[in-house]
């Protein structure tokens, strides 16, 4: 089961926009609606490879290899770096903007979204303002479409019973979070999400677990979808093949990731690891799309609203693409937009509309200032915490922690349970050092994670 260290392992999203624009211009993508050169209906490693080359061509593909960018699309939903200091805020705080067109009223946004079969609301997982925006948008949509179902990326299907009991009013907050295995399956501060959960409960809106078990995603990412027996796929059908544009989006993100000693940026488009990584991402998108599709088939055809990371939504590459393959053509895409982000990123097609969010609100700082090691992990069978992902720019990365490392001790205490890591990190005061004992293959080592002092 995947877990984060005290808070979520933040998922990186903001790869260099100047590079993005170069790729767009090289392959002839307009700055308006995205054109997908090839769309294929059956997914395989070979088809992914062929699609990629069709998108970029060999010379363009070679340009991609030297460029690095933050990791984890699944999370592509986080922390866009503001490298472009612009005098004009193109998405003013508190305003809706249609990318590529201009301002639009909230009434228009909600009216259009309410006519859809499904609406996706993006987020940066640890941004409190994003979740407040989601709540505001949910409330407005509920007025327009009271017959609603809310799907959450945060929950795997195995905990659906806990969601049903919560909405029915049978569980306290503590009982719900325990029954849903929150500390293991998501780990981001529950206070960020509880207002959304209470909104669903207050209005008796069904909540649906959209996700699948982390172990299945990891198996597909390492071995490929075909290697997983059908009985172990949790009902997920083969994903629709990714668009060529999505492959171009994923390659530099994957190339930035530390992968067992390979240098960052050393990724080739036909690298089997990259192709399996694509399959893993597609599986994630497909699983959530299938759950939303099933919810939309309920009597009365309710409006299905999906709460998920923005990286699954942007440009329609992820979940929207899979929904349309399942026959759900009317999909709305709404995103929060941090003020100060470069205007060149607000391109037509990234979403139906974006809403300006204050980047440096005290509320956001309140949650982001809590101790964060910056990893996602699962408990290893032989003991210790196996690192699944190291956040770029995190304390863990600075300390030298790598993916696949196993943390066997934290502050001199053996790591036997998830809580041994989580509680140790939560107790860590700013400006202090946390000694960790690691196993990396057959080697053992001691490192120190240095938590910075609070800036005044």
Please report, for the domain that includes residue 376, its CATH number: 2.30.42.10
Domain termination site, one of 223, 246, 281:
281
Could you tell me if residue 161 is inside a domain?
Answer: no
Q: How far, in Å, CA of 29 to CA of 51, rounded?
A: 15
What share of the chain in percent tops pLDDT 70? 74
Residue 106's pLDDT band (cuts 50, 70, 90)? very high
For the chain, the domain total comes to 2
Where in 78-205 does DSSP place strands (E)?
A: 96-98, 102-104, 118-121, 148-156
Could you tell me if residue 427 is inside a domain?
Answer: yes
pTM of the model: 0.70
Where in 117-184 does DSSP place strands (E)?
A: 118-121, 148-156
Token readout for 366 is: 């309140």
Could you tell me if residue 75 is inside a domain?
Answer: no
Residue 13 has φ and ψ, to the nearest 5°, of -135, -30
* Apex 77 CA angle, 275 and 167, nearest 5: 110
Could you tell me if residue 95 is inside a domain?
Answer: no
403-441 tens-digit pLDDT: 888 999 999 999 988 778 888 888 888 889 999 999 998
Domain termination site, one of 229, 259, 281:
281
Could you tell me if residue 255 is inside a domain?
Answer: yes
Beta-ladder partners of 393: none
pLDDT at position 366 is 52
Name which of 228, 192, 274, 243 is nearest 43 in CA terms: 243
pLDDT at position 221 is 72
Could you tell me if residue 201 is inside a domain?
Answer: no
Could you tell me if residue 381 is inside a domain?
Answer: yes
DSSP string computed for 370-433: S----EEEEE-TTSSEEEEEE-TTSHHHHHT--TT-EEEEETTEE--SHHHHHHHHHHPPTT-E
Q: Which domain holds residue 35?
A: 17-66+215-281
Q: For residues 5 and 425, is the Cβ–Cβ distance under 8 A?
A: yes
Q: End-to-end CA distance of the chain: give it in Å, rounded.
A: 37
Could you tell me if residue 412 is inside a domain?
Answer: yes
Average pLDDT over residues 368-376: 71
Q: For residues 377 and 408, is the Cβ–Cβ distance under 8 A?
A: no
């Amino acid at each position: 089961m995947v877990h984060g260290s005290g808070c979520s392992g933040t998922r990186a999203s903001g790869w260099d926009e100047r590079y993005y624009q170069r790729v767009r211009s090289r392959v002839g993508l307009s700055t308006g609606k995205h054109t997908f050169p090839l769309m294929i209906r059956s997914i395989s490693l070979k088809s992914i490879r062929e699609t990629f080359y069709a998108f970029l061509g060999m010379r363009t593909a070679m340009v991609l290899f030297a460029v690095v960018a933050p990791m984890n699309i699944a999370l592509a939903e986080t922390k866009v770096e503001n490298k472009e200091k612009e005098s004009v805020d193109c998405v003013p705080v508190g305003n809706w903007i249609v990318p590529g067109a201009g301002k639009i009223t909230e009434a228009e946004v909600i009216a259009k979204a309410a006519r859809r079969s499904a609406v996706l609301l993006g987020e940066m997982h640890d941004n409190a303002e994003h979740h407040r925006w989601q709540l505001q948008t949910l409330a407005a949509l509920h007025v327009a479409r009271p017959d609603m179902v809310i799907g959450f990326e945060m929950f795997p299907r195995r905990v659906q019973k806990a969601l049903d009991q919560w909405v029915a009013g049978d569980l306290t907050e503590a009982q719900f979070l325990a029954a849903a295995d929150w500390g293991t399956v998501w780990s981001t501060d529950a206070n960020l999400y509880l207002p959304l959960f209470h909104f669903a409960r207050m209005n008796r809106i069904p909540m649906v677990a959209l996700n699948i078990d982390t172990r299945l995603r990891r198996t597909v990412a390492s071995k490929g979808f075909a290697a997983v027996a059908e009985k172990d796929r949790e009902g997920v059908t083969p994903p629709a093949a990714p668009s060529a544009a999505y492959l171009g989006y994923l390659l530099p993100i994957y190339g930035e990731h530390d992968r067992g000693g390979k240098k960052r940026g050393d990724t080739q488009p036909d690298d089997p690891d990259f192709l399996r990584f694509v399959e893993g991402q597609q599986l994630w998108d497909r699983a959530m799309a299938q759950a939303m599709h099933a919810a939309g088939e309920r009597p009365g055809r309710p409006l299905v609203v999906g709460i998920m990371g923005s990286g699954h939504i942007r440009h329609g590459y992820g979940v929207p693409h899979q929904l349309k393959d399942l026959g759900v053509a009317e999909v709305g895409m709404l995103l929060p937009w941090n003020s100060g982000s470069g205007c060149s990123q607000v391109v037509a097609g990234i979403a139906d509309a974006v809403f300006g969010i204050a980047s440096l609100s005290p509320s956001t700082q309140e949650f982001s200032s809590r101790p964060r090691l910056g990893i996602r992990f699962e408990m290893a069978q032989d003991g210790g915490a196996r690192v699944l992902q190291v956040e770029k720019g995190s304390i863990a990365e600075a300390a030298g922690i790598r993916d696949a490392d196993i943390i066997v001790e934290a502050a001199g205490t053996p790591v036997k349970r998830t809580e041994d890591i989580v509680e140790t990190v939560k107790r860590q005061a700013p400006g202090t050092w946390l000694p960790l004992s690691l196993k990396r293959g057959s080697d053992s080592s001691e490192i120190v994670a240095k938590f910075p002092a609070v800036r005044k």
